[in-house]
Structure 1
Amino acid sequence: MNQDKLKYLLQQYFDGTINSYDCEELLNYLKDNPGEVSGVVDEKLLKLDEGPELTPLQARNVLDSIKADPRFIESKTAKPKAKILSLFITITKVAAVVTFFSAVGVYFINKNKIPQNQNGVAAIKSTKILPGGNKAVLTLANGKVIVLDNKANGTLAKAGKVEVNKIADGKLAYNTQAAGVKPKVIDNALVYNMLSTPRGGQYQVVLPDGTQVWLNSASSLSYPVEFSGNERRVKLTGEAYFEVAKNKDKPFYVTSNNTQIRVLGTHFNISAYSDDQEVTTTLLEGLVQVSKNNNQFVLKPGWQAMVSNDADANQIRVAQANINEVMAWKNGYFIFNDDNIATIMKKVSRWYDVDVELKGNFANQNFGGTFYRSKGIDELLKNLEKIGKIHFKVSGRRVTVME
Structure 2
Amino acid sequence: MEERIAYLLAQHRRGALTAAERQELQHWLDVPGDATVDTIAALMEQEAAITEPLDESTLEERVARIVSVDKGEEKKTATIHPLRTWWWAAAVLILCFSLLGIYRWQHRQTAIDTRLAQQSNPVIMPGSNKAVLTLANGEKVNLDSTGHQLIREGETAVQQQGGSLLYAAGAGTAVTYNTLTTPRGGQFQLVLADGTSVWLNAASSIRYPTAFNGDTRQVEVSGEAYFQVASDPGRPFTVHTAGQTIAVLGTQFNINNYGDNGHIITTLLEGKIRIDNGRRQVELTPGEQSIVNAADISVNRNVDTDMVVAWKNGLFKFNGTKLEEVMKQLSRWYDVDVTYAGPAPDRRFSGEITRGAAITEVLDMLRLLQVNFKITDNGPRKMITVVPD
TM-score, normalising length from structure 2? 0.72
Residues in 2 aligned to 1:379 and 1:150: alpha-carbon distance in whole angstroms: 23
> Which position in structure 2 is the counterpart of 1:205?
190
SS at match of 1:293: coil
Q: CA deviation at 1:191?
A: 1.1
Residues in 1 aligned to 2:332 and 2:338: alpha-carbon distance in whole angstroms: 10
Question: Please, which of 272, 283, 286 is the counterpart of residue 287 of structure 1?
Answer: 272
Question: Please, which of 152, 157, 164 is the counterpart of residue 158 of structure 2?
Answer: 164
1:329 aligns with 2:311: yes
> Which position in structure 2 is the counterpart of 1:386?
368
1:143 aligns with 2:138: yes
Superposition map of 1:55-66 within 5 A: 58=18
Q: CA deviation at 1:339?
A: 2.0
Output the amino acid matched with 1:183.
T
| Comparing 213-222 and 314-323, the one that deviates more | 314-323
Residues in 1 aligned to 2:231 and 2:28: alpha-carbon distance in whole angstroms: 39
C-alpha spacing 1:115/1:352, structure 2 compared with 1 (3 Å): closer
SS at match of 2:189: strand
- Are 2:274 and 2:283, in contact at CA under 8 Å, matched by a contact in 1? yes
- Are 1:302 and 1:321, in contact at CA under 8 Å, matched by a contact in 2? yes
Q: CA deviation at 1:150?
A: 6.8
Deviations 1:86-144 (A, max 9, x none): xxx49x9479638954996999758842699x678483435421111101110001000
> Which position in structure 2 is the counterpart of 1:350?
332
- Are 1:195 and 1:221, in contact at CA under 8 Å, matched by a contact in 2? yes
Deviations 1:272-293 (A, max 9, x none): 1111121111111111111111
- Are 1:110 and 1:366, in contact at CA under 8 Å, matched by a contact in 2? no
Deviations 1:44-92 (A, max 9, x none): xxxxxxxx9xx99746xxxxxxxxxxxxxxxxxxxxxxxxxxxxx49x9
- Are 2:133 and 2:142, in contact at CA under 8 Å, matched by a contact in 1? yes
Residues in 1 aligned to 2:364 and 2:298: alpha-carbon distance in whole angstroms: 38
| Comparing 226-235 and 360-369, the one that deviates more | 360-369
List gaps (5 residues or longer) in structure 2: 6-11, 38-68, 79-110
C-alpha spacing 1:350/1:110, structure 2 compared with 1 (3 Å): farther
C-alpha spacing 1:140/1:95, structure 2 compared with 1 (3 Å): farther
Question: Please, which of 158, 167, 171 is the counterpart of residue 174 of structure 1?
Answer: 167
1:302 aligns with 2:287: yes
- Are 1:155 and 1:164, in contact at CA under 8 Å, matched by a contact in 2? yes
> Which position in structure 2 is the counterpart of 1:18?
none
SS at match of 1:240: strand
Output the amino acid matched with 1:359.
A
Question: Please, which of 298, 303, 309 is the counterpart of residue 316 of structure 1?
Answer: 298
C-alpha spacing 1:327/1:169, structure 2 compared with 1 (3 Å): same
Residue correspondences, number = 309
Residues in 2 aligned to 1:202 and 1:164: alpha-carbon distance in whole angstroms: 18
> Which position in structure 2 is the counterpart of 1:395?
376
- Are 2:77 and 2:349, in contact at CA under 8 Å, matched by a contact in 1? no
Residues in 1 aligned to 2:141 and 2:325: alpha-carbon distance in whole angstroms: 32
Q: How high is the sequence identity, in percent, across the aligned residues?
A: 37
Output the amino acid matched with 2:172.
K
Q: CA deviation at 1:367?
A: 2.2
Output the amino acid matched with 1:316.
S
> Which position in structure 1 is the counterpart of 2:75?
113
Kindly report the root-mean-square deviation, in angstroms, between the aligned alpha carbons of the 2 structures.
3.2
List gaps (5 residues or longer) in structure 1: 1-10, 16-51, 60-88, 185-189
Residues in 1 aligned to 2:375 and 2:119: alpha-carbon distance in whole angstroms: 5
Residues in 2 aligned to 1:376 and 1:295: alpha-carbon distance in whole angstroms: 43
Residues in 1 aligned to 2:73 and 2:210: alpha-carbon distance in whole angstroms: 48
SS at match of 2:259: coil
C-alpha spacing 1:135/1:237, structure 2 compared with 1 (3 Å): same
More helix by share: 2
1:271 aligns with 2:256: yes
Residues in 2 aligned to 1:150 and 1:394: alpha-carbon distance in whole angstroms: 28
Superposition map of 1:55-134 within 5 A: 58=18, 89=20, 93=23, 97=27, 101=31, 112-113=74-75, 121=115, 123-134=118-129
Q: CA deviation at 1:336?
A: 1.6
Residues in 2 aligned to 1:115 and 1:206: alpha-carbon distance in whole angstroms: 39
Residues in 2 aligned to 1:256 and 1:115: alpha-carbon distance in whole angstroms: 34
Q: CA deviation at 1:152?
A: 3.2
| Comparing 270-279 and 95-104, the one that deviates more | 95-104
Question: Please, which of 142, 150, 153 is the counterpart of residue 148 of structure 2?
Answer: 153
> Which position in structure 1 is the counterpart of 2:343?
361
> Which position in structure 2 is the counterpart of 1:45?
none
- Are 1:336 and 1:369, in contact at CA under 8 Å, matched by a contact in 2? yes
SS at match of 1:128: coil
> Which position in structure 2 is the counterpart of 1:239?
224
